[in-house]
């Protein structure tokens, strides 16, 4: 019997197959439904895994490896410290501001074991962004890697934070490596800016202090909040999506059911380059592969592509997740093609549209077809996933995962037929409770009968496969015709010599809006004329870029997604860089 789990299967949704046409396209071995309360909480998932896989490696980073037994011991000690030394009560919020280091899973599961609500926090936040999140979440406790403590120090006086635990890079290493690591980070690489936070507590002390105490198990159930996962920062101040333990367990069960025919318990190694504080990596990598006893190989700084490739060299990994820019970056880094890909069987893309050129190059280089998936923070996040045994890129985001309904709706909320474009709506046990303390914002996206309006434009094929066309707010209206930036970006990316491209709409006196393509060159010799010639060959006239700009880099978020809002701010809004510097297509 699994720890803290239910034996009976209780499907969330019991619809006839006719109501879910995608079921006929399901891969063999994938169930139509899952039990969203298979574990009463993520604590139950943890306890089950550390018992079954105690001696297996769980997480590796910077040359150190932590077993499932180590994870159990360290997270229990940290939970004990939170209970006994800080006196934190069930339901209090704790912010975690760390990249992919071994301390992250320890702190995460320690906080959940203590019954706290985790507020994942981007270490690259500015003081303004950090202050907003800490205040909005009413977080009294934060764990921060010392490299980023100076940002916290600059705004902490204007937040409710009263407990600061500071992690150091070498905390999880044995002596003398721990000392050498901390010295190198602070005095050789000089990547720990000076800061002053009176009363800060070393995380290593918390581990020691909690290790000699007695942990008191907290009753954490399906309806308790597990995370305040902030989202929407690219459209204004971020909102906290309330994700319950039931939401998260459901999505782990959905993802695990999808990959189960292709994995072996206790044998898999997944490369975790996307940050664990992001919902995609948190669920798809950390939680799902922990359920099957896999090893998460953490990459603390995936922006250092050369270092990333060096880390991969000795590892026979069987799975990797990423966004289009990460896969593209690896493919363009010297030495990656020399990696041993013989064990690779799961390549998963999400977070942003996967481009065909990237997918084709990845398959040719690694022998593994990327399975594109779709999700959003408000759905914990997985909604649709492609079968993992695809022969080639299919341009779809896949099929709705078990116990999930997807519907394409028009502006009035009326369901549309096959191959008709409209807003993608989602319903399932993974859909959030709502936005933290924002009832009006919640009402805008959640219907009374549980449907989540995603704001994404898509269409469903007769066989149930879903194609994502674009974000509703990003659609460009050219002379009354809808232009989807994803389609234009994908077309331009096919041109040899283009490394990256972002597409937005700009105002135009003749057509209302016009297409602007902002391009990063892979080949310095590529010209605007070549781009225009290519676009004329592959795009109908109104979809072709009226303006083309070449830049050195595109603005991206923490997982490498191109930020169209920033592109609009730079090139399309009043006072931004003049698009007129490019020649408009005639």
Is the same domain home to 99 and 215?
A: yes
pLDDT at 576: 62
Task: List, in sequence order, every residue forming a beta bridge with 503; answer none if it has no partner.
Answer: 517
Do 362 and 510 lie in one domain? The reply is no
- Residue 465 domain-assigned (yes or no): no
This prediction has a pTM of 0.86
Residue 63 in any domain: the answer is: yes
HEC secondary structure over 272-339:
ECCCCCCHHHHHHHHHHHHHCCCEEEECCCCCCHHHHHHHHCCCCCCEEEECHHHHHHHHCCCCHHHC
Let me know if residue 161 belongs to a domain. yes
Whether 259 is in a domain gets the answer: yes
Q: How far apart (Å, rounded) are the C-alpha atoms in residues 254 and 250?
A: 6
Q: What is the DSSP letter of 118?
A: E
Domain extent for 443:
17-456
Is residue 265 located within the same domain as residue 312?
A: yes
Question: E-assigned strands of 146-283?
Answer: 163-167, 201-202, 225-231, 239-244, 269-272
pLDDT at 85: 98
Question: Does any domain span residue 462?
Answer: no
Do residues 37 and 140 share a domain? Answer: yes
Looking at the structure, tell me whether residues 367 and 495 fall in a common domain. Answer: no
Tell me if 10 is assigned to some domain. no
Do 284 and 255 sit in the same domain of this protein?
Answer: yes
Shared-domain flag, residues 121 and 80: yes
pLDDT tens per residue across all 586 residues of the chain? 344 433 333 334 444 455 899 999 999 999 999 999 999 999 999 999 999 999 999 999 999 999 999 999 999 999 999 999 999 999 999 999 999 999 999 999 999 999 999 999 999 888 988 999 999 999 999 999 999 999 999 999 999 999 999 999 999 998 899 999 999 999 899 999 999 999 999 999 999 999 999 999 999 999 999 999 998 643 456 899 999 999 999 999 999 999 999 999 999 999 999 999 999 999 999 999 999 999 999 999 999 999 999 999 999 999 999 988 899 999 999 999 999 999 999 999 998 889 899 999 999 999 999 999 999 999 999 999 999 999 999 999 999 999 999 999 999 999 999 999 999 999 999 999 999 999 999 999 999 999 999 999 999 999 999 999 988 889 898 887 788 898 899 999 999 999 999 999 999 888 889 999 999 999 999 999 999 999 999 888 889 999 999 999 999 987 888 999 899 999 886 556 655 434 444 4
CATH number at residue 567: 3.30.300.30
Say if residue 381 is in the same domain as residue 277.
yes
Residues 322 and 239 placed together within one structural domain of the fold: yes
pLDDT of 577 = 61
Q: Is the separation of the CB atoms in 147 and 171 below 8 Å? A: no
Residues 452 and 435: their CA atoms lie apart, in Å, by: 12
My answer on whether 482 and 405 are in the same domain is no
Together in a domain, 264 and 407: yes
Does residue 553 belong to any structural domain of this protein?
A: yes
Instruction: Report the number of distinct structural domains present in the chain.
Output: 2
Is 467 contained in some domain? no
Nearest to residue 227, comparing CAs of 371, 402, 108? Answer: 108
């Amino acid at each position: 019997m699994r720890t803290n789990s239910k034996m009976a299967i209780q499907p969330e949704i019991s619809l006839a197959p006719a109501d879910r046409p995608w079921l006929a396209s399901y891969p063999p071995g994938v169930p139509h439904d899952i039990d969203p309360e298979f574990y009463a909480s993520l604590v139950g998932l943890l306890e089950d895994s550390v018992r079954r896989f105690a001696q297996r490696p769980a997480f590796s980073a910077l040359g150190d490896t932590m077993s499932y037994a180590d994870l159990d011991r360290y997270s229990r000690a940290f939970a004990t410290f939170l209970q006994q030394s800080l006196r934190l009560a069930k339901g209090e919020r704790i912010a975690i501001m760390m990249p992919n280091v071994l301390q992250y899973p320890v702190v995460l599961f320690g906080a959940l074991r203590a019954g706290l609500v985790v507020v994942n926090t981007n270490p690259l936040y500015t003081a303004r962004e950090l202050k907003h999140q800490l205040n909005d979440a009413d977080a009294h406790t934060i764990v921060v890697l010392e490299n980023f403590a100076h940002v916290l120090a600059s705004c902490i006086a204007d937040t409710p934070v009263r407990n600061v635990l500071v992690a150091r890079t070498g905390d999880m290493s044995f002596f003398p490596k721990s000392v050498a690591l901390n010295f190198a980070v602070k005095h050789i690489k000089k990547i720990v800016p000076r800061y002053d936070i009176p009363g800060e507590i070393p995380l290593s002390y918390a581990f020691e202090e909690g290790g000699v105490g007695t942990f008191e198990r907290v009753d954490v159930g399906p309806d308790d909040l597990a995370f305040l996962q902030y989202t929407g920062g690219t459209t204004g101040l971020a909102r906290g999506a309330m994700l319950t333990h039931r939401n998260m367990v459901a999505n782990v069960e959905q993802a695990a059911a999808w990959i189960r025919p292709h994995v072996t318990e206790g044998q898999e190694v997944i490369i975790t380059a996307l940050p664990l504080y992001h919902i995609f990596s948190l669920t798809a990598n950390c939680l799902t592969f922990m359920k099957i006893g896999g090893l998460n190989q953490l990459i603390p700084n995936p922006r250092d592509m050369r270092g990333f490739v060096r880390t991969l060299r000795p590892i026979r990994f069987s799975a990797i997740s990423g966004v289009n820019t990460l896969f593209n970056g690896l493919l363009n880094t010297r030495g990656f093609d020399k990696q041993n890909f013989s064990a690779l069987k799961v390549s998963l893309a999400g977070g942003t549209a996967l481009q065909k050129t990237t997918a084709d190059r990845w398959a040719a280089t690694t022998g593994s077809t990327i399975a594109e998936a779709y999700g959003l923070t408000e759905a914990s996040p997985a909604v649709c996933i492609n079968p993992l045994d695809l022969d080639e890129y299919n341009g779809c985001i896949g099929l709705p995962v078990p116990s999930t309904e997807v519907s394409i709706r028009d502006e009035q909320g009326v369901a549309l037929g096959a191959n008709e474009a409209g807003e993608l709506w989602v319903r399932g046990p993974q859909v959030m409770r709502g936005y933290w303390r924002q009832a009006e914002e919640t009402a805008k996206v959640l219907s009374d009968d549980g449907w989540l309006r995603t704001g994404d434009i898509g269409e469903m094929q007769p066989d149930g496969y879903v194609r994502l066309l674009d974000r509703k707010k990003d659609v460009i209206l050219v002379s009354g015709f809808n232009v989807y930036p994803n389609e234009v970006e994908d077309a331009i990316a096919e041109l040899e010599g283009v490394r990256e491209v972002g597409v937005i709409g700009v105002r135009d006196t003749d057509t209302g809006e016009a297409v602007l393509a902002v391009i990063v060159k892979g080949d310095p010799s590529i010209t605007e004329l070549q781009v225009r010639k290519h676009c004329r060959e592959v795009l109908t006239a109104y979809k072709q870029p009226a303006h083309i700009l070449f830049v050195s880099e595109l603005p991206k978020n923490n997982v490498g997604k191109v930020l169209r809002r920033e592109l609009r701010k730079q090139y399309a809004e009043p006072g931004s860089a003049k698009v007129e510097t490019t020649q408009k297509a005639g």
